[in-house]
Structure 1
Amino acid sequence: MYGYNTHIARELKSDLWIEEHVSGGLNVYTNGFNHYDNNEPLRILLFADNFPSFTSGITRRFREIIRRLAEHHHHIHVITGCSNALSWVKGNELLEKYVTFSTLPSTDFKNKIDCGCPFLFPSPTIYSIIRRFSPDVVHIVEQTPGAILCGIFSKVLNIPIVWSSHTNVDSYVSTYIRRGAITMIRRFYQFIRLNYLSYSTINLTVSRDFADFMEHTGVPRPVIVWKTGVDSELFNPTRYSREMRYRMFGTYNNFTEEQMDSMTLFLCVGRISAEKNFEFLSLLLKRIPSEIFLCIIGDGPFRNTVEPLFPKDRVYFFGYLAGEELASAYASADYFIYASVSETFGQVYLEAMASGIPIVAAEGGQLKEFLINGEHGYLWEPNNLDSAEKAIRLVMKNRNSLSTKARQQALKHSWNAARDQLNDIYYEAIKKHNNKQENKNKNMNKLKLIWNVCYSFTIWLFGLLVVLLLLALFVRVSSPQSIAPKKHNKNSLEKKKHNSIMTKKLSFS
């Protein structure tokens, strides 16, 4: 039934996992604590369409955070669309004890809209999972159809919700929606986000820039910025490997070791998809010295479209790497380059900095969280080839100083600090939710509960059908667009006032 793992179902039915307290006819779920002591273990339900082994900055964040939450003996149940998510905990005694999964049927869109993420099929089963697990708090990731349904059920069951937004969907609309419908779809999405994030006890995102953008579009204030960390032991300059460096040049050109030692190696790491702006890098490469070589680590549905844009004698598409091999690749490169302008944070920047690699990248408001232009690398004005060429020449002049400062800056960001912040947010959400309920009638009969569930589900289903209709009419498979070098007026008031990619590129409703 819906891909439910029998071991997990057995765990969820255990008396150790479920306790019901009946009050006034409504089943009020609790583990027996009032949660005024932040040392008490919690029962946390996490809804995330994507989860390891799917690779993205979001899944890397939750992989690190869940591991550390388990160390505090919190019980975490994950609802996801990744069919092999359970393999992530196998062999780890701590995770096997405190982390369980419900894996619902899902699909991906690798050959449709160039998005390699799995999206689970929304199902009423989500309701029964929530009731069985009886969480103290529900943490929902993004605003996918399944996530919204989880939010509706959690709201009806009167459970505090922490909702985190990690993706700049507003920016992606221009990539995946036909031109004439962009404004309409963007405003429709903003309406949905505003409506359902109002269910949350606490809203989170990952940068001050995106938090300001969300608040500007009507999301209830304050939107809390959830810190990001980096594993500075894994991503470390000591991971440098001459063998890895040679591998990063590929085998197509048969470079000698002397040639590879003398060339400057730039590294780009990320999912190869339309919104990452790889076509801009292909144009930039033509304007920088021929002794610069680019290694692109990552994979994705857009690779077959992007790869022919790059000259084989100057670029190597390495494919997917993870763990110590990825860390070694970072440390073995000379510089990290990234052209994406759609990031809400960008985990890869911190990983590169922790590895002692200076950054050269497109300017974005999220980079203000951790990167100082001229100290940890150099930034260029988005989609400006002249600015990008200048940034590359500047970053190559003083690598050693930039490298040292980049590493020092990255050390200020730890996953333990991000875990501790989220831990406090969960307890705060519970307290805020309980305080709101003190002045409300907690009694609700089962008939009214059933009515609320059915009514909310019907409204959600109608909205989903509208969304699917709009997507069917207006979604498009994106292909690289020709980017001509742009001449910018240096005295332009608009450019001088620009301090955020969000406010520059997006229209507000």
Structure 2
Amino acid sequence: MVTSEALPNGFTHDNDDSLRILLFAESFPSFTSGITRRFKEIIRRLAKRKHYIHVITGCKNASLWLEGNDYLQEYVTFSILPSTDFTNKIDCACPFLFPNTAIYFSIRRFSPDVIHIVEQTPAAMLCGAFAKSLNIPIVWSSHTNIDFYLSTYIRSYAVKMTRCIYQYIRLKHLIYSSINLTVSQDFADYMEHTGIPRPVLVWKTGVDSELFHPRRRSSSMRYRMFGTLNNFTYEQMDSITLFLCVGRISPEKNFEFLSLLLERIPSETFLCIIGDGPYRHILEPLFPIDRVYFFGYLGGEELASAYASADYFIYASVSETFGQVYLEAMASGTPVIAAEGGQLKEFFINSEHGYLWEPDNIESAEQAIYLAMKNRDYLSIKARQQALKHSWDSAADQLNNVYYNAIKKTTQHKETNIIIILFRLFYYGFHWLICMLLALFLMAPFVKVSSPKSTMTQNNNFCRKKQQMYMTAKKCFSSR
């Protein structure tokens, strides 16, 4: 028997009652990222619980996701606001939604029980100010390690200052939240270390283990992953070890390290890169066409087939807060070879599900590949078994409980007095404006938009110097 609980904010909810959830997410399908894949899966499951969900987003084609699904069309609605993709300037992780007073009116029209805000962009923070003005419970989830990205997109002499400013701005807004979420314990610990109120909860991540499955291995997909320029025979493509990398093509993903790594491993190996981004046209010529194929974008069953048809999944990025691609590869029975990072602590055991290398260490990466190539069948079985422990149902159940707990933490009614609302709008709006001015005058002037070719040249020189030192030391040792 389900009991009803009277909450201090005046709401009365059973754990099975439907909620009105407003989701502020600048990135949403048709944009492709780990974040959008997460919310697609979660929204499907929240709708099945008969929760009404209104999404404010800057993705112009977001509503197309509902087509053909009557169930979602009944429970999910959208406000599509103006945005830009910065296609040829900055490789953003998501479309940038302009700060807009329409956000406030969308909130008032929908009258949500709880507002879920994703990331800390200017528009997201404005949404937080509006929610706080109306005294609506806020759940704020952080998925991107902006602190790390600043070292890529800010001039080196200003990184320390801009990081402090960003952390201050983030703190001033995340203290509005009833509950703060992130997707790995490593990043949660880091956020708490920078002053975000404890605890920052770790929101579980899942994987569709029916879509991403070893049975989707396909000879025809495998042959497509070699491209058409090299005219490999079927026998050659079956015998060559095929590595797969899936991700947005941008500087922080560290693709240039993979080009160095290819020089160190046998020629009977091939790399297929699935993904796209504004830096692809610059990065692509830097890779040897006889060893690498840039496939472009794949999704759905084709992407699942590509995962399963590769021999290994390889990834050099250390900027992930979780990295959905690792779990998708593991669910497909494809062992992971990757740079070691805090996000992998959640689900990955070195030598059980694949092998990790020390970041920026070419010798360590080479060794990880050789170890993995000795043990593929064992790693494949263990990787699949581990991935099966992570489900979207469990992640949706957790978020469902988070929403109810956020409502319980709100100590007053949703504010309706227009005088109080106007005062709060001025107060929280002024705080937001000061923070944006700080960002505009003390962060924006130091943004750099560097070509990955220059970044690669620097990293190549660094890694090659390390290689030369290693070879010199090796010769000295052998001569003794």
User: Does TM-score exceed 0.5, indicating one fold?
Assistant: yes
Partner of 1:77: 54
Counterpart Cα distance in 1 of 2:44 and 2:440: 36
Partner of 1:58: 35
Q: How does 1:339-350 map to 2 (within 5 A)?
A: 339-350=316-327
Conserved 8 A contact 2:47-2:71 = yes
Task: Please state whether the residue corresponding to 1:437 is helix, strand or coil.
Answer: coil
Partner of 2:418: 446
| Deviation, structure 1 residue 193 | 1.0
| Deviation, structure 1 residue 253 | 0.6
1:469 aligns with 2:441: yes
Q: Deviations over 1:94-153 (max 9, x none)?
A: 110000000000011121122262111111111111111010000000001111001011
Partner of 2:107: 130
Partner of 2:184: 207
Q: How does 1:318-397 map to 2 (within 5 A)?
A: 318-397=295-374
Which residue of 283, 293, 306 corresponds with 2:270? 293
Gaps in structure 1 of 5+ consecutive residues: 1-29, 491-509
Distance 1:462 1:218, change over 3 A: closer
Which amino acid counterpart does residue 69 of structure 2 have in structure 1?
A: N
Partner of 1:503: none
Which amino acid counterpart does residue 131 of structure 1 have in structure 2?
A: R
| Deviation, structure 1 residue 457 | 1.9
Partner of 2:210: 233
Conserved 8 A contact 2:243-2:271 = yes
1:430 aligns with 2:407: yes
Which residue of 6, 12, 15 corresponds with 1:34? 12
Counterpart Cα distance in 2 of 1:448 and 1:74: 29
Which amino acid counterpart does residue 450 of structure 1 have in structure 2?
A: L
Counterpart Cα distance in 1 of 2:149 and 2:266: 32
1:141 aligns with 2:118: yes
Q: Deviations over 1:51-98 (max 9, x none)?
A: 011000000000000011000000000000001000001110111000
Which amino acid counterpart does residue 296 of structure 1 have in structure 2?
A: I
Counterpart Cα distance in 2 of 1:41 and 1:447: 30
Which residue of 73, 81, 94 corresponds with 1:96? 73
Partner of 2:236: 259
| Deviation, structure 1 residue 487 | 4.9
Partner of 1:191: 168
1:456 aligns with 2:433: no
Q: Deviations over 1:268-293 (max 9, x none)?
A: 00010111000111111111110010
Q: How does 1:270-289 map to 2 (within 5 A)?
A: 270-289=247-266
Task: Please state whether the residue corresponding to 1:371 is helix, strand or coil.
Answer: coil
| Deviation, structure 1 residue 33 | 5.1
Conserved 8 A contact 1:109-1:116 = no
**TM-score normalised according to structure 1 size:** 0.87
Which amino acid counterpart does residue 320 of structure 1 have in structure 2?
A: Y
Counterpart Cα distance in 2 of 1:444 and 1:232: 46
Moved more, 456-465 or 151-160: 456-465
Q: Deviations over 1:197-223 (max 9, x none)?
A: 000000000000000000011100000
Counterpart Cα distance in 1 of 2:306 and 2:137: 42
Number of positions where the alignment pairs a residue of Structure 1 with one of Structure 2: 454
Partner of 1:152: 129
| Deviation, structure 1 residue 311 | 0.2
Conserved 8 A contact 1:114-1:478 = no
**TM-score normalised according to structure 2 size:** 0.92
Which amino acid counterpart does residue 241 of structure 1 have in structure 2?
A: S
Conserved 8 A contact 1:298-1:319 = yes
Q: Deviations over 1:403-458 (max 9, x none)?
A: 0000000000000000000001101111121xx339xxx88742232122133223
Counterpart Cα distance in 2 of 1:452 and 1:424: 29
Counterpart Cα distance in 1 of 2:246 and 2:359: 18
1:163 aligns with 2:140: yes
Conserved 8 A contact 2:354-2:379 = yes
Q: How does 1:16-35 map to 2 (within 5 A)?
A: 34-35=12-13
Q: Deviations over 1:299-334 (max 9, x none)?
A: 001111211111000000000000000000000000
Counterpart Cα distance in 1 of 2:443 and 2:251: 17
Q: Deviations over 1:463-505 (max 9, x none)?
A: 3233233444111113332223375999xxxxxxxxxxxxxxx
Partner of 2:385: 408
Gaps in structure 2 of 5+ consecutive residues: 1-8, 471-480
Task: Please state whether the residue corresponding to 1:54 is helix, strand or coil.
Answer: coil
Conserved 8 A contact 1:68-1:419 = yes
